[in-house]
Amino acid sequence: MQGAGQRTVICYVGVGANLGDPAGNCLAAMDLLASRRDLRLVRRSSLYRSEPVGVEDQPWFVNAVAEIATGLSARELLAALLAIESGMGRIRENRRGGPRPIDLDLLLYGQEMIREEGLIVPHPELHKRRFVLAPLAEIAPYVIHPAFGVSVRGLMDRLEDDAVVEVL
């Protein structure tokens, strides 16, 4: 996974689905991540059942977070996530928050802050979403959000989102 002089970065990927078999789709996506030679799945959270946020007239979601170690750049990792989504039947549309068979979001890429066309890290909504913070806090409560200097647990404590999120 790592060549000479190449560093390994710990990243967190949000995993979600609400079409087809959402729990099975989330597990399959994490298995696909684990099967890649250019990254290592360090651990995964439990699966969580989550009430839709934003577009409420749709099935509830299943969400999880995967911790990844990789030598890929953030842009390369994003491309890998999009390829997995596409392979699992995800068609990205302009409509945000709608139903989907799988959704993979790059939440954190080490402690880097990246603002490029099509790539913003940390994920700009991470600190506002219980369905992301609950599984992230399960596996990485002490990771610090690079923009706010607050731990994931601290973000959970400050969270105003009261949407239902429960362990499956």
Which pLDDT does position 5 carry in this prediction?
Answer: 57
Name the token pair of 38.
Answer: 């250019």
List 90, 95, 115, 129, catalytic entry: 90
The tens digit of pLDDT for each residue in 126-140 reads 999 999 999 999 999
List 103, 130, 153, 157, catalytic entry: 103
Q: What are phi and psi of 85, to 5 degrees?
A: -55, -50
User: Which residue type does 74 have?
Assistant: A
**Catalytic: 105?**
yes
> Quick one: CA torsion of 19, 91, 99, 69, rounded to 10 degrees?
80
**Catalytic: 100?**
yes
The tens digit of pLDDT for each residue in 76-118 reads 999 999 999 989 987 776 556 678 889 999 999 999 999 999 8
Cα–Cα distance for residue pair 89/87, rounded to 1 Å? 6
Confidence of residue 40 (pLDDT cuts 50, 70, 90): very high
List 100, 115, 157, 161, catalytic entry: 100
Task: Name every residue whose Cβ is closer than 8 Å to that of residue 134 and which is 6 or more positions away in sequence.
Answer: 48, 63, 156, 165
CA 73 to chain centre: 16
**Catalytic: 37?**
no
* CB 150 within 8 Å of CB 157: no
Confidence of residue 10 (pLDDT cuts 50, 70, 90): very high
**Catalytic: 162?**
no
SS3 content of the chain, % helix, strand, coil (to 5): 30, 30, 45
89 backbone φψ class: left, alpha, beta (φ>0; ψ -120 to 50): left
List 43, 95, 105, 162, catalytic entry: 105
* CB 126 within 8 Å of CB 132: yes
- Is the predicted pLDDT of residue 55 greater than 80, yes or no? no
